Amino acid sequence: MSETKHLADKAIVVTGSGRGIGRTIALEVAKAGGNVVVNDLDRDVAEEVVAEIKALGVDAVANTDSVGDWEGANKMVTQAVDNFGKVSGVINNAGNLRDVIFHKMTQEDWDMVINVHLKGSFNVSRAAATHFRNQESGVCVHMTSTSGLIGNFGQANYSAAKAGIAALSKSIALDMQRYNVRSNCIAPFAWSRMTASIPAETPDQIERVEKLKKMVPEKVGIVAAALCSDKAAHITGQIFAVRMNEIFLMSQSRPVRSTHCGDGWTIDRIFETAMPQLESHFYPLDRSQDVFTWDPV
């Protein structure tokens, strides 16, 4: 017996969906019955995905606008409404990498990554927000990363953007809850066109890349599609990580230890009393691979 078409009659914008994780997300949305705006800067690859989706018996249209452009983001949302009669959700997947150690990072390295990841996620979500408010329904799914949630070398631009996306998602969830709009994040572990640019020179880097190559993007796509379904109507403001067949609920910042001084703090008191009390709960300078130390399953 075939699975229920959980996204039947829905129209989903998937950014950066010509290849990699985005392509598999678009295909999983289509397999669940959803119509898709396939966004990619390369029209040829976007049209290829459109053809794959139409072969599944649902509709799709190609879009080549940049998520970093305000007008472009609005065009892709308008394209969904014009072709499918509505926009039911957006999946902010488009991304890029400009990895470089911080003291060598240029303004261009910073701006290019922030513009696509963080500004792009804002642009597309904001473009859809007016439609969501008017129809009193909608869903946003954003791609964050453990590089931002935990940390990694040489990715200050990417990490900052991805941490910002987590905060953006929470803000959307809070602001739009009254309109039955929900917003969640996925931190994906998967090999893709983007992660193929990760340096693999040192033994540590080579080991990390080899692990990534084992993690297929289809595992991420099905979770993104599930979060767009009506079965996820009660799920909002959450951050999930997906690694092969594992789904993790990620923590969000909360106080872990406190101390106080009734007479007020001085510098000496801070280091005599406060820091010794708090240090046992300090976080180490760990990275994603230091936390996820076991092989994917």
Give 92's strand partners: 142
Among the listed ranges 187-196, 236-245, 267-276, which one has the minimum average pLDDT value?
187-196
Look at the alpha carbons of 128, 129, 131, 136 in this order and tell me if their dihedral is positive or negative.
positive
pLDDT at 163: 98
pLDDT at 295: 82
**Mean pLDDT of the region 60-72:** 98
pLDDT at 289: 85
pLDDT digits (tens, 9 = 90+) for 275-292: 999 999 999 999 988 998
Closest CA to 125 of 179, 163, 180, 70: 70
Residue 44 has pLDDT above 90, yes or no: yes
What is the C-alpha separation between 111 and 117, in angstroms, rounded? 10
pLDDT at 218: 83
CB 81 within 8 A of CB 87: yes
Question: What does the domain layout of the chain look like in residue ranges?
Answer: 11-253
State the architecture of 11-253 in CATH terms.
Answer: 3-Layer(aba) Sandwich (3.40)
pLDDT digits (tens, 9 = 90+) for 168-223: 999 999 999 999 999 999 999 976 555 555 556 777 766 766 766 677 778 999 99
Active site residue 283: no
What is the C-alpha separation between 77 and 89, in angstroms, rounded? 9
Residue of 158, 189, 191, 240 marked active site: 158
Quote the percentage of the chain above a pLDDT of 90.
Answer: 85
Structure tokens at 198: 């990760």
pLDDT level of residue 1 (50, 70, 90 thresholds): very low
Residue 39 has pLDDT above 60, yes or no: yes
**Mean pLDDT of the region 12-21:** 97
pLDDT at 217: 79
* pTM of the full structure: 0.91
**Mean pLDDT of the region 247-258:** 97
> Taking the CA atoms of the chain, what radius of gyration do you get in angstroms?
20
**Mean pLDDT of the region 49-59:** 98
Among the listed ranges 129-133, 257-261, 292-296, which one has the minimum average pLDDT value?
292-296
pLDDT digits (tens, 9 = 90+) for 88-136: 999 999 999 999 999 999 999 999 999 999 999 999 999 999 999 999 9
What is the C-alpha separation between 65 and 70, in angstroms, rounded? 10
